C-alpha cells in the first residue's frame, strides 16, 4: 500500500519546492508577456487570435481579456503551489512554463521581424 | 501547566556556540536558492530555444520573399514564385509592389522586405499606392471580386489596418501625405472619394468616374470622351475648388498612357495605338502652360514626376531593348538612366530614386524590379 502511494504521488523535497516556486513565478510573468505581445500583435493588424476563448474575450474588450487570462493563470499557479508536495506539480509547472517561453520567444521574434 | 512564553532562568541561555551553525546554514540556503533559480532559468531557456527554432524554421520555409540583391547604385528584386510582379509604387526610400496577390514593401536603405497583405481571409489584391508614411491597397475575399476592403500600412507605427470597405472597385488607390483617394460607386453612380488616414474620416472629391492621382491637396483624374481622353478634372481639397484642365494638343488617334501629378504640374503621356509612338507633356494646372518633355517616344510607359524630374520608360531607337529616360523640367535635354534587356512596364521617380519594373523578353522568364539614383 505504501509503495503504491509512493508511486502515485512522489514527494518533492525543499529544494524541489524552491524550483517549483521560481518556475511558477516565471510562468506568471511569461503569461503577462504573452498577453502584452498578443495585444500588440493584434493592434499591429498582422495577427489573429487563434485561441477561440481568448478571441471571444479580446472581442469583448481588453480589460475582460486581461482579467480572464491573468485570472486563470493565477488560479492555476496557486493550485500548483498548493500541490507543491507532489513532484507532478513541478513537472506540470515546468511544462507549462516551457510552452509559454516558446510562445513568448516566437511572438517576440515575430514582432521584431515586422 | 502552560509553558512560559519567555525563557525562564532555568532554561539555558543561547550561547555563542550556536552562532557557527546559523552562519553555515545561510550560505547553504543561498546556494540552494541559486540552484533553484538556475533550474527555473533552464526551463525558460529550453522553451525559448524551441520557440526560436520554430520561428527560424517558419522564416526559412516562407516562400513570399523575392530575391533581393544590392547593385552598384540601388537594388534588384527578382520574382521567386513566378506569380508575376506588378503595381510598382515608390516614395521616399520605400518601394511597394504586388507579387501575385502579395503586397510587399521594401526599405531602400536596408533592403529589408515586408509582407503587408493580403490578410488570412483575402485572396485578391489590387495594386498598392505609397506616400512618405502610408501604403494603401485593396484586398478582396475572392478572386475576381468587385468589392474590397481598403487597407493601409503605417510605416511609422508598423500598423496595418482596414480604413474602408469599397463597394465597387472602379480605380486603384492613390495616396499622398495622409490622404488617399480612389473611385467607387455610391447610390448607383461613380464617385471619387477619399479617406484622411490620420482620423479615418471619409470625404467626397467629385461625383464622377476617373482614375484619380493625388499630390498634396490636389486631386486630378482624366475624363474620357468617345474612348479618348479629353480633359483632366482637378480638385483642390484645401481650397474646396474644382476646375478643368484641357490638355494641350491631346487628341487625335492617341490614347492616354497615363498621367502623374507633382505640386502644380500635371505630366501625361499620349501614344498612337497603331504605331506605338507618342509624347510626354507637362502642364501647369493653374496657368495651363505646357512644355513637351519627350517627342516620338516609342512604346513609352506612363510618365512619373517628382519635383522637376520626369521619368519614363521607352523602347530604344533600334528597338532591341528598352531604356529608362529622364528629363528635368527646369531645363536641359532628356537623358538615359538605364538600358534594360526586357520590356519596361513601369518607371517611377521619387526623392532622387528611380525604380522600374521589367517584364522579361523571354516568355516565362522572371520579371524584376531595379532601382538607382537619379543622375544630378
Nearest to B40 among A23, A48, A102 (CB): A23
Q: Under an 8 A CB cutoff, do A101 and B36 touch?
A: no
B187 in a structural domain = yes
Q: Under an 8 A CB cutoff, do A102 and B48 touch?
A: yes
pLDDT tier for residue A28 given thresholds of 50, 70 and 90: very high
Same domain for B321 and B229: no
A36 in a structural domain = yes
Same domain for B254 and B201: no
Task: Please state the domain count of chain B.
Answer: 2
Same domain for B256 and B242: no
A4 in a structural domain = no
Same domain for B315 and B371: yes
Same domain for B204 and B149: yes
B105 in a structural domain = no
CA distance A81 to chain B (A): 15
Q: Under an 8 A CB cutoff, do B160 and A46 touch?
A: yes
A6 in a structural domain = no
CA proximity to B97, closest of B76, B124, B80, B115: B115
B128 in a structural domain = yes
A48 in a structural domain = yes
A105 in a structural domain = yes
Instruction: Report the residue of A33, A46, A112 to disrupt the B interface, i.e. the one with the largest count of B CBs within 10 Å.
Output: A46
CA proximity to B75, closest of B105, B117, B98, B118: B105
Longest dimension (CA), chain B: 124
Question: What residues make up the domain containing B127?
Answer: 118-246
A2 in a structural domain = no
B85 in a structural domain = no
Same domain for B220 and B128: yes
Same domain for B269 and B207: no
- Look at residues B216, B246, B276 and tell me which one is the last residue of a structural domain: B246
CA distance A8 to chain B (A): 24
- Digit-by-digit pLDDT tens for chain B (376 residues) are 444 444 444 444 444 444 455 555 677 777 788 888 999 999 999 999 999 999 999 998 888 888 999 999 999 999 888 788 899 999 989 999 999 889 999 999 999 999 998 877 778 899 999 999 999 999 988 877 788 899 999 999 999 999 999 988 899 999 999 999 999 987 778 999 999 999 999 999 999 999 999 999 999 998 876 555 678 999 999 998 999 988 876 555 678 889 999 999 999 998 887 888 988 999 999 998 999 999 889 999 999 999 999 999 999 999 889 999 999 999 899 999 999 999 999 999 999 999 999 998 777 778 999 999 998 8
Residues of B in contact with A46 (CB under 8 A): 160
A1 in a structural domain = no
B38 in a structural domain = no
B177 in a structural domain = yes
Same domain for B339 and B307: yes
Residues of A in contact with B160 (CB under 8 A): 44-46
- CATH code at position B279: 2.130.10.120
Q: How far apart are CA A10 and CA B27, in angstroms?
A: 28
Taking any CB pair shorter than 8 Å as contact, residues of chain B touching chain A are: 32-33, 35-37, 39-40, 43-52, 54-55, 59, 114, 120, 158-162
Would you state the pLDDT for residue B2? Answer: 45
Q: Under an 8 A CB cutoff, do B52 and A48 touch?
A: no
A18 in a structural domain = yes
Same domain for B336 and B261: yes
Task: Please state the domain count of chain A.
Answer: 1
This prediction has a pTM of 0.85
Residues of B in contact with A48 (CB under 8 A): 120
Cis peptide, bond prior to residue B118, ω within 30 of zero: yes
CA distance A45 to chain B (A): 5
Residues of A in contact with B57 (CB under 8 A): none
Question: What residues make up the domain containing A38?
Answer: 12-113
- Look at residues B246, B264, B291 and tell me which one is the last residue of a structural domain: B246
Looking at per-residue confidence, does A74 or B141 come out higher?
A: A74
Same domain for B353 and B290: yes
B40 in a structural domain = no
Cβ density class A83-93: b for 16+ within 10 Å, e for less:
bbebbebbebb
CA distance A15 to chain B (A): 7
Same domain for B264 and B214: no
- CATH code at position B175: 2.120.10.30
Cell of B315: 523602347
Same domain for B253 and B225: no
Would you state the pLDDT for residue A51? Answer: 86
Give the C-alpha distances (Å, rounded to integers) separating B80 from B66, B70, B347, B365: 5, 16, 21, 11
B98 in a structural domain = no
- Look at residues B215, B246, B277 and tell me which one is the last residue of a structural domain: B246
Q: How far apart are CA B271 and CA B99, in angstroms?
A: 28
Would you state the pLDDT for residue B274? Answer: 82
Cβ density class B343-375: b for 16+ within 10 Å, e for less:
bbbbbbbbeebbbbbbbeeeeeebbbbbbbebe
Taking any CB pair shorter than 8 Å as contact, residues of chain A touching chain B are: 14-15, 18-19, 21-23, 25-26, 30, 43-46, 48, 94, 97-107, 109-110, 113-114
Amino acid at each position: 500500500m505504501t509503495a503504491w502511494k509512493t508511486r502515485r504521488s512522489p514527494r518533492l523535497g525543499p529544494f524541489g519546492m524552491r524550483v517549483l516556486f521560481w518556475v511558477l513565478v516565471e510562468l506568471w510573468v511569461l503569461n503577462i508577456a504573452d498577453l502584452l505581445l498578443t495585444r500588440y500583435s493584434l493592434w499591429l493588424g498582422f495577427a489573429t487570435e487563434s485561441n477561440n476563448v481568448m478571441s471571444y474575450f479580446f472581442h469583448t474588450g481588453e480589460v475582460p481579456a486581461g482579467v480572464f487570462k491573468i485570472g486563470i493563470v493565477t488560479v492555476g499557479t496557486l493550485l500548483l503551489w498548493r500541490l507543491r508536495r507532489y513532484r507532478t506539480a513541478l513537472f506540470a509547472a515546468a511544462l507549462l512554463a516551457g510552452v509559454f517561453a516558446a510562445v513568448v520567444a516566437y511572438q517576440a521574434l515575430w514582432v521584431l521581424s515586422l | 501547566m502552560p509553558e512560559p512564553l519567555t525563557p525562564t532562568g532555568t532554561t539555558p541561555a543561547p550561547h555563542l556556540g550556536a552562532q557557527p551553525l546559523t552562519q553555515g546554514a545561510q550560505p547553504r540556503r543561498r546556494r540552494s536558492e541559486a540552484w533553484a533559480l538556475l533550474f527555473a532559468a533552464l526551463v525558460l531557456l529550453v522553451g525559448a530555444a524551441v520557440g526560436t527554432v520554430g520561428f527560424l524554421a517558419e522564416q526559412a520555409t516562407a516562400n513570399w520573399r523575392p530575391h533581393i540583391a544590392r547593385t552598384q547604385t540601388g537594388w534588384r528584386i527578382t520574382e521567386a514564385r513566378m506569380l508575376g510582379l506588378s503595381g510598382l509604387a515608390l516614395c521616399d526610400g520605400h518601394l511597394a509592389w504586388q507579387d501575385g496577390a502579395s503586397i510587399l514593401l521594401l526599405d531602400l536603405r536596408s533592403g529589408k522586405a515586408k509582407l503587408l497583405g493580403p490578410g488570412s481571409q483575402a485572396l485578391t489584391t489590387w495594386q498598392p499606392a505609397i506616400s512618405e508614411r502610408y501604403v494603401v491597397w485593396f484586398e478582396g475575399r475572392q478572386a475576381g471580386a468587385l468589392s474590397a476592403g481598403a487597407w493601409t500600412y503605417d510605416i511609422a507605427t508598423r500598423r496595418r489596418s482596414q480604413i474602408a470597405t469599397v463597394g465597387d472597385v472602379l480605380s486603384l488607390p492613390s495616396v499622398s501625405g495622409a490622404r488617399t483617394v480612389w473611385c467607387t460607386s455610391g447610390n448607383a453612380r461613380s464617385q471619387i472619394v477619399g479617406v484622411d488616414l490620420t482620423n479615418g474620416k471619409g470625404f467626397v472629391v467629385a461625383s464622377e468616374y476617373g482614375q484619380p492621382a493625388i499630390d498634396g491637396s490636389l486631386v486630378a483624374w482624366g475624363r474620357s470622351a468617345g474612348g479618348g481622353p479629353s480633359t483632366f478634372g482637378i480638385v483642390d481639397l484645401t481650397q474646396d475648388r474644382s476646375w478643368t484642365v484641357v490638355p494641350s494638343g491631346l487628341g487625335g488617334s492617341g490614347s492616354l498612357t497615363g498621367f502623374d501629378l507633382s505640386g502644380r504640374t500635371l505630366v501625361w503621356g499620349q501614344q498612337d495605338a497603331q504605331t506605338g509612338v507618342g509624347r510626354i507633356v507637362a502642364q501647369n494646372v493653374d496657368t495651363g502652360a505646357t512644355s513637351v518633355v519627350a517627342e516620338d517616344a516609342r512604346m513609352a510607359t506612363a510618365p512619373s514626376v517628382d519635383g522637376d524630374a520626369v521619368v519614363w520608360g521607352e523602347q530604344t531607337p533600334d528597338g532591341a531593348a528598352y531604356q529608362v529616360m529622364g528629363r528635368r523640367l527646369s531645363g536641359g535635354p532628356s537623358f538615359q538612366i538605364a538600358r534594360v534587356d526586357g520590356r519596361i512596364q513601369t518607371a517611377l521617380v521619387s526623392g532622387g530614386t528611380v525604380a522600374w519594373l521589367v517584364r522579361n523578353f523571354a516568355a516565362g522568364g522572371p520579371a524584376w524590379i531595379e532601382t538607382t539614383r537619379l543622375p544630378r
